[in-house]
Amino acid sequence: MQKQNIKTHELLQKWGLHNTNVFRNPSVPLIYQLSMQSTEETSTRPDSINSTGALVAYSGKKCGRVPKDKRIIKDQVTEQDVWWGDVNIPLSRESYNEVEKIALEYLGSREKLFIIDGYAGWDSNHRLRIRVFCTRPYHALFMKNMLIKPTEEELMKDFNGDVDFYIFNAGPQIIQKPIDGVTSEGCVAVNLTERKMVILGTQYAGEMKKGVFGVTHYLFPKQGILTLHSSANEGDGDVTLLFGLSGTGKTTLSADPKRKLIGDDEHAWSDNGIFNIEGGCYAKCVDLSKEKEPEIFNAVKFGAVLENIEYFSNQTREVDYSNISITENTRVSYPLDFIPGTKFPAQGGHPKNIFFLTCDAYGVLPPVSMLTPEQAMYHFISGYTAKVAGTEVGVKEPQATFSACFGEAFLALHPTLYANMLAEKIKKFDTKVWLINTGWSGGKYGVGQRMSLKYTRAIIDLIHSGELKDAEFENFAIFNFRIPKVAKNIPSEILNPRNTWKNPDEFDKQLQELAQKFQINFKKYEDKATIEIINAGPKL
């Protein structure tokens, strides 16, 4: 114990920190106790415990990521390879140093300081050592859940000195002076060259999780490892990857009682197969119920973190999952082993099937389509979905959007680099790719109905059993998808979305409008795409 204390003191000194009340890798019960005792000014409600034992915390004014506040340090190294633009906004090293100074001064002045150590990546040959400094107990428990927990032996061996990536979370501290390149009171600044990240002006825990994901998107591809914004599960030796942005169903559909969960959000694909980057899950809670999502519902227990929820009553502490008065982006974080049947270690072989989940706000895409390899590349690069309410500040209802690689916000390098890597792996391992619409049917958003989860699950079951690939298919106009005419346990009229609309002419108009959006969006990638991939897009 004495050795640990001395080492922790040295870790603090490296960053000019001299806190005396430091909790390095505290136990879950201790975090709960400290959370209840916290006197820190966080401008949020106090933490509490819900009726099933989860820690309940609030992130304050910002209940989602703030992409406009994200900055990447532009230096001689990153200038050449980072995909600069709206996703990766540059910040000078000088400005970064100012931001980091504010964060370290804040962290060093707090009554309590938490240090959390953990890995990113379940493949022991390809993992990053992460160290988090934070002041809020809930942030400490969140990262304790989301990182892969080292053994005592690994802590002494791998975390006794410098690590691969540092997070300085000073989220309760806002920026109160002008800094060149910083445009608000908040800043999420990532220094890829020095492998550091600073958080100021936002207490939303998801910023830490996505910061780790972003650095793997930069470092892993340089080692020939493809990073993927996907969930993954495994049946009888067959692995499935599910792609999709927040709210499209990745977490829900990957938690399948008939299959082992590998992970719900972030994966990497190496020459040995796929592996989860995370040690936990960060699931949406809006309208959560035991009937619809029993695995996630039952994971809300001691050790989990509920973020930004409301109770039916403070006396009962029973959560009202339908209450979105704080935000629609209510969340729960829990370790992977809270889901029964999770595979450990969280790794698998090469995928047999890949699902592109899209939340089609226009209501014109089929519930399931089989894609050719060229169509797979076109739709991976396009990444069509809808921004779903609550996952970003300012988004109130779904909006049609394109997000390259189904995760544009997290890409560090150009989308075509990831797309080319995926193309090679799909062809090499004969992986089948399916486009699945979890959005609207029978009309666009506001008119039609959200696709039934029951039918989406049934479609996925048919793919896993091998039945659907042997079905009779027909061509779906304009997009030229192959769609099944009949599928067991699925009403045949929903398989072709045109049949679900009251006015076929209105459907055709909406379909053409969406096809035009695809074509316009893809123009920015045409200079680096092959003619085969370009021709795999919709034809008007």
202 a catalytic residue: no
Q: Which two tokens stand for residue 39?
A: 């006197």
Q: Is position 317 annotated as part of the catalytic site?
A: no
Instruction: Using only the alpha carbons of the chain, give its radius of gyration.
Output: 23
The active-site residue, picked from 246, 385, 401, 438, is: 246
Which has the closest alpha carbon to 134: 34, 213, 43, 23?
23
| Catalytic residue (one of 74, 110, 250, 352) | 250
Give the active site residue among 24, 65, 127, 129: 65
Consecutive H or E run containing 306? strand 305-307
347 three-state secondary structure: strand
Catalytic, out of 74, 112, 127, 331: 331
Phi, psi of 24 (to 5 degrees): -100, 120
Token code pair at residue 485: 């005419």
Q: Does residue 331 have an active-site annotation? A: yes
Q: Which of 202, 230, 251, 382 is catalytic?
A: 251
Structure tokens at 321: 């999952």
Q: 68 to each of 186, 188, 421, how far by Cα in Å?
A: 10, 9, 28
Residue 246 annotated among the catalytic residues of the structure: yes
Q: CA 295 to CA 425: how far, in whole Å?
A: 31
Which residue is listed with tokens 């099944």?
A: 484
- The answer to whether 210 is a known catalytic residue is yes
The catalytic residue among 110, 126, 210, 267 is 210
Q: Which stretches of 350-470 are assigned E, i.e. beta strand?
A: 351-358, 368-371, 384-387, 399-402, 432-437, 440-441, 449-450
Close Cβ partners of 126 (under 8 Å, ≥ 6 residues apart): 220, 223, 225, 268, 270, 275
DSSP β-bridge partners for residue 284? 331
Marked catalytic residue, from 47, 123, 256, 265: 265
DSSP 87-117: SSEEE-HHHHHHHHHHHHHHHHTSS-EEEEE
Residue 244 DSSP class: -
- Show Cβ contacts of residue 145 under 8 Å, excluding neighbours closer than 6 positions: 279, 280, 303, 304, 305, 333, 334, 335
Active site includes 252?
no
Q: Is 250 one of the catalytic residues?
A: yes
Q: In this structure, are residues 55 and 32 in contact, taking their beta carbons and an 8 Å threshold?
A: yes
**Residue among 126, 229, 259, 464 flagged as catalytic:** 229
Active site residue 425: no
Residues known to be catalytic: 65, 210, 229, 246, 250-251, 265, 331
